[in-house]
């Protein structure tokens, strides 16, 4: 009888050990086979998470078992999560349930339109480009924050920003407003006032400077020239605004390398040949170097400039019309030789 009891106890121990070992393995054994990032969408269910994580774990069933024991299917969080090789199901599920989500460095450079900006942002965060575009153009938001359709692009300052991947379109827009206000601190606002400009007007002039020259070191000089014209009540006569007006009229984006005489009479509030002062808003999104050029312009007496034929990408500056006409003839002869008609 004693032998039977011992044997039964031994069987129970063996069976118990087997289940304990199996239980332990499910929870604590290494299951993640590759370090990667999971992008878990908003409102994802457990099937979605399982599908996303499946290529990176050895045992899908043990992951599901531990996840259900920890009630993870009812506590799924959206976001970008780093999972590391060697993680056990215990560590993995705890991380997905309550660990820190990864942030992304969202970057955009100067974009010409809201559509282009929305497209650029839409490939970096969960929100799609259409929802981002709608959020940026929302009439109530613009009115509450003193923006117009023509000026709202100035709110987005090209740079790198930290976001969570699952940021919504509205949260992206709202953070950009915070960053805009942060950028326009008291010091920059005072510098704008010294030029008799508002931050929006600075961005508008900066967008012209941006389009006028790609040479960053030349931008303060170009900004100084346009400010000279504004202060002396001259029309800006900025070719980039004419190009913008032509594209608006045509309703399409295409490359214009040469402004024609007929373009200078186009009926548009962006025509700075026929209208005095600044256009209604930015013609593109200026980057920080262009904004800073307007806030910290070079001091000089130049009123004219023309693209240089000797230093491509830069300009020849002049104080008098006769000097400018001489520079302009050189450029016109050069561009004719290049066969550029538009």
What pLDDT is recorded for position 252?
A: 67
DSSP letters, 74-106, are GS---EEEEE-TT-BHHHHHHHHHHSPPBEEEE
pTM of the model: 0.85
Domains and CATH numbers, the chain: 25-98 (3.30.1490.480), 105-183 (no CATH), 186-337 (no CATH)
Mean pLDDT by 10 residues, the chain (342 residues): 55 51 67 94 96 95 93 95 94 93 95 94 97 97 96 96 97 97 97 96 97 95 97 95 88 72 90 95 95 97 89 88 86 75 58
Q: Left (φ > 0), alpha (ψ -120 to 50) or beta: where does 146 sit? A: left
Q: What's the rounded Cα separation, in Å, for the pair 51 and 57? A: 11
The predicted pLDDT at position 310 comes to 82
Nearest to 205 by CA among 334, 85, 141, 292: 292
Which tokens go with 214? 């790609």
- Helix (H), strand (E) at residue 39: strand 36-40
Write down the pLDDT at residue 341.
60
For residue 216, the 8-state DSSP code is: G
Burial class (CB in 10 A: 0-12, 13-18, 19+), 337: exposed
Q: Which of 110, 106, 108, 140 is nearest to 124 (CA)?
A: 106
The 8-class DSSP code of residue 133 comes to H
Which pair of structure tokens corresponds to residue 25? 């393995």
Q: Which residues pair with 160 in a beta bridge?
A: 107
Task: Yes or no: say if 308 and 315 are a contact pair by the CB < 8 Å rule.
Answer: yes
pLDDT at residue 18, as a whole number: 46
């Amino acid at each position: 009888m004693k032998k039977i009891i011992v044997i039964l106890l031994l069987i129970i121990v063996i069976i118990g050990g087997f289940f304990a070992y199996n239980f332990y393995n499910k929870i604590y054994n290494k299951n993640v086979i590759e370090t990667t990032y999971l992008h878990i969408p908003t409102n994802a269910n457990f099937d979605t998470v399982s599908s996303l994580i499946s290529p990176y774990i050895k045992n899908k069933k043990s992951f599901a078992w531990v996840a259900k024991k920890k009630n993870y299917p009812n506590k799924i969080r959206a976001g970008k999560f780093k999972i590391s090789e060697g993680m056990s199901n215990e560590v993995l599920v705890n991380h997905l349930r309550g660990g820190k989500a990864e942030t992304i460095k969202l970057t955009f450079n100067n974009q010409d339109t809201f559509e282009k900006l929305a497209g650029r942002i839409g490939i970096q965060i969960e929100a799609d480009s259409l929802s981002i575009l709608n959020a940026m153009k929302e009439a109530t938001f613009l009115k509450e924050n003193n923006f117009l359709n023509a000026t709202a692009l100035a709110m987005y300052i090209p740079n790198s920003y930290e976001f969570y991947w699952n940021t919504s379109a509205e949260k992206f827009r709202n953070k950009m407003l915070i960053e805009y206000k942060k950028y326009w601190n008291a010091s920059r606002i005072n510098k704008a006032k010294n030029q008799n400009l508002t931050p929006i007007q600075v961005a508008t002039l900066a967008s012209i400077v941006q389009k006028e020259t790609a040479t960053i070191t030349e931008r303060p000089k170009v900004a100084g020239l346009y400010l000279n014209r504004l202060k002396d009540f001259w029309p800006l006569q900025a070719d980039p605004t004419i190009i913008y007006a032509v594209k608006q009229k045509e309703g399409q984006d295409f490359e214009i390398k040469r402004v024609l005489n007929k373009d200078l009479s186009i009926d548009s509030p962006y025509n700075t040949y026929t209208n005095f002062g600044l256009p209604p808003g930015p013609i593109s999104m200026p980057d920080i170097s262009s904004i800073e050029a307007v806030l910290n312009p070079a001091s000089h007496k130049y009123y004219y400039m023309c693209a240089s034929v000797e230093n491509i990408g830069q300009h020849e500056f002049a104080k008098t019309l006769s000097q400018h006409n001489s520079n302009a003839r050189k450029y016109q002869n050069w561009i004719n030789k290049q066969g550029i008609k538009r």
